[in-house]
Chains A and B, each alone.
Chain A
Amino acid sequence: MKPILEIHGIGKRYRIGHQTNTYLSLRERMLDVFRFEKTEKEDFWALDDISFSLGRGESLGIIGRNGAGKSTLLKILSRITPPTKGKILSRGRIASLLEVGTGFHPELTGRENIFFNGSLLGMKRREIESKFDEIVEFSDVEKFLDTPLKHYSSGMQLRLAFSVAAFLEPEILIVDEVLAVGDAEFQRKCLGKMENVANSGRTIIFVSHNLQSLKFLCQQALYIEKGKLKAIGEIEKTIDLYLSDNSSVNSLASYQQNLGSLRQDSDFRLINIVLAQGNRSVIDNVRNGEELKMEIEYELLNNLSRFRVFVDICDQFGTTVLRTYHDEVDYARLSMKKGTYKSILTIPANFLAPVTYEFRFWFGIHNVRMVEPIDGVTFKVNVENSGLYNMTYNGQYSVGLVCPTLHWDIYKN
């Protein structure tokens, strides 16, 4: 069978002028005519030579760092903007959800907005009418159906918007990060609905920073880096490649390289610090859904009675979130003989928030002095959300600097 979507060598060029506005004013344009020197413009290829094809019923996740070209690719696939070069051949009806509630108007009632929004998303009037009751039921806003949207709470607006989108039945569905908003219960409801879509033989293209939900929905992943196709293939492998790639640009790596050139200490020598998850070593991209092990390897050149390694987990501004000592549970550990050691700190799964942390490693002789490196070892670590985190809290930004999964009981009186 022919693939439902074929992409051949798509490229998108933007011209970057030296003005901040994308649109011109007529006055500027007319003045330009009288200026003899041309305003300098730079070419920027937001996407370059992307090719892939998708079969019916396949689902593809698109991953890449911010600015890698993910959104541009989605815009091109949904035909909002044309490619500068290349071809797209689609053999099915495409619907794209780059935003929920596009075209919602505050003056119109819920009912009216369902019709307008549904029609924008490509539904026929008859189709909307036949699904109307289901949409309303899914959204939970029956009571306010004839109230203008401006009187809705933002949560209600969102639910209404999602509900319309959830009943789209295209052959190819393009979804951008829309699940990053909305309350958790509703999010799960939508994920469930999407999963149905994915299992019902429709093709889905999905962009999200939530790697967990990508894994949940997609079999394949496309990894873009700086506008170029870096890898395409099975989802787990591609995500692993993405995570390990994005680790190489960090300061732990440079620390590891410079370990030899650290100032000598008469008592202590730092051999290495390694971060590991599962059986992979990671550098600056960590997933909060898995346990993180920090292995600190060092050599003591003398017997020390009060040596300790301790670690600060700080937020990106350097404020300490917590400090933990390797002798925390047992003071006897302070006393260490000459030799090589590994102190391993384990941070449990579902503990870190999906934010950027600074990890600081300190080495010292308790109440005597800090050993070299006296300033400790500090590097930044970016936590990707793959855990239960997103199920509990609202979308993109974190509430709190750690988010352990704590135990709750609920009793009915």
Chain B
Amino acid sequence: MQPRGVWSGSNSMTKNEQEFLVDAERQRLFNWPELWHYKELFYFFTWRDIKVKYKQTVLGFAWAVLQPLLMMVIFTLFFGTALKIPSGNLPYPIFVFSGLLLWNTFSSGLSNSASSMVNNAQIIKKIYFPRLIIPVSSVLVSLFDFLMAFLVFIPLLFYYDQGVSWNVLWSWPLALAMTLVATLGPGCLLSALNVKYRDFRYVIPFLVQVLFFLTPVIYPVTLLKYPILQYILVCSPMYAAIELFRYPLTSIQPDPYFMVISLISSLFFLIAGLLYFKRTEDFFADLV
């Protein structure tokens, strides 16, 4: 274990924001004023990652649109048409795309943030700023992917002549916020673990894949016959967000118990992730 000295410091930025105290004896969990002070850095990290990501691909921004579109086509062909998986009162392409929209945000945010600390090791070793900015910004990068895919989703709704209720005004933003929260917890946890145990990077793609099939994205949870299995599946932090997102389309109210279970799981990961991240944060520079 590393010695447990902590910047309580950064912590006690008092009246004057520039003043700080670093004390090996004292410790505080989060230093909100400091995070606020560094707010622009969230933007710059996100902005950099988006730029770099799309500069490196030949297709550029088109890739962000094509990826969910192609996935939708494939899933529609295999699961909707061939396997005839039910999709409630929605056309299967709409059902699957609405799920993938959020799921892709989650999975790309999760894999981005999981490797973010290691990828930014050079910066971490040379400059101080609240480390939390790094995994958070990489989650925000996936928000951009969401917007791109969303631009495809809207014409799709018109194409299938899909009705949308007014609930959309609160439920979609809320669902998106829930997605970010669901991503942030595991993202922070994995990014910290990844610094400490380098072989975690092999685990992450596998983990995301497993979660994908365990989360009712491409099939409805009602597909499962046994209620116990349903309860297990809705433990996925992404379940609630996806259900809420589909609510204005289906107009069928999601099961409140399921929603609460999924939310609790999401909050649990958020707290665990932030705590673990915070606990290892100070020593990242010694580890990476």
The interface of chain A, by Cβ under 8 A from chain B, is 11, 13-15, 22-27, 29, 75-76, 78-93, 96, 98-99, 102-103, 105, 107-108, 112, 115-116, 119-122, 124-125, 148, 171
Contact = CB atoms under 8 A, between A and B. Distances in A.
B82 interface: no
Contact of B127 (A23, A85, A98): A98
Contacts of B123: 102-103, 120
Closest A-B pairs by Cβ, 6 of them: A79-B128, A26-B197, A88-B22, A93-B18, A119-B44, A102-B126
Contact of A82 (B47, B127, B282): B282
B26 to A, nearest CB: 9
30 contacts: A23-B197, A23-B198, A23-B288, A24-B198, A25-B197, A25-B198, A26-B200, A79-B22, A80-B125, A80-B126, A80-B285, A81-B283, A81-B285, A82-B283, A84-B24, A87-B23, A88-B9, A88-B21, A89-B21, A90-B18, A90-B22, A91-B19, A92-B18, A96-B126, A102-B123, A105-B52, A107-B51, A112-B48, A116-B47, A119-B40
B56 interface: yes
B122 A102 contact: yes
B3 A13 contact: yes
Contacts of A85: 5, 24-25
Most A CB within 10 A of own CB, among B44, B124, B125, B129: B44
A26 B204 CA distance: 13
A115 B45 CA distance: 11
A81 B124 CA distance: 10
A85 B26 CA distance: 10
Contacts of B288: 23
Contacts, number: 126
Contacts of A105: 48, 52
A76 B3 CA distance: 14
A359 B5 CA distance: 48
A121 to B, nearest CB: 7
A303 B25 CA distance: 75
A222 to B, nearest CB: 18
Nearest to A170: B18
B129 A84 contact: no
Nearest to A75: B285
B274 to A, nearest CB: 18
Given A112-B51, A120-B123, A83 B22 contact: yes
Contacts of B128: 78-80, 96
Contacts of A25: 197-199
B235 interface: no
B28 interface: no
Interface in B29-70: 40-41, 44, 47-48, 51-52, 55-56
A216 to B, nearest CB: 25
Contact of B48 (A15, A91, A92, A116): A116
A124 B7 CA distance: 23
A103 B126 CA distance: 9
B126 A98 contact: yes
Contact of A108 (B25, B52, B126, B286): B52
Nearest to A76: B22
A81 B56 CA distance: 33
Contacts of B3: 13, 15, 84
Contact of A81 (B25, B195, B286): B286
A121 B56 contact: no
B40 A82 contact: no
Given A80-B285, A102-B126, A15 B22 contact: no
Contacts of B9: 79, 88
Nearest to A118: B44
Interface in B121-172: 122-129
Given A79-B22, A98-B126, A119-B44, 9 more contacts: A26-B200, A27-B199, A29-B197, A81-B286, A87-B22, A90-B18, A105-B52, A108-B55, A112-B51
B119 to A, nearest CB: 11
A212 to B, nearest CB: 26
B128 to A, nearest CB: 4
B89 interface: no
Interface in B193-208: 195-200
A102 B128 CA distance: 11
A91 B76 CA distance: 61
B22 A82 contact: yes
Interface in B236-288: 282-283, 285-288
Interface in B98-131: 122-129
A22 B288 CA distance: 8
Contacts of A96: 126-128
A93 B283 CA distance: 22
Most A CB within 10 A of own CB, among B21, B52, B128, B200: B128
Contacts of B40: 119, 124-125
Given A25-B198, A102-B127, A120-B127, A81 B122 contact: no
Contacts of B184: none
B2 interface: yes
Nearest to A121: B127
B5 A84 contact: yes
B56 A107 contact: yes
A89 B20 CA distance: 6
B215 interface: no
A83 to B, nearest CB: 5
Most A CB within 10 A of own CB, among B16, B21, B200: B21
Contacts of A29: 197
A171 B25 CA distance: 26
Given A79-B7, A88-B9, A99 B282 contact: no
B6 interface: yes
Contacts of B44: 115-116, 119-120
Contacts of A119: 40-41, 44
Given A23-B198, A25-B197, A82-B7, A90 B287 contact: no
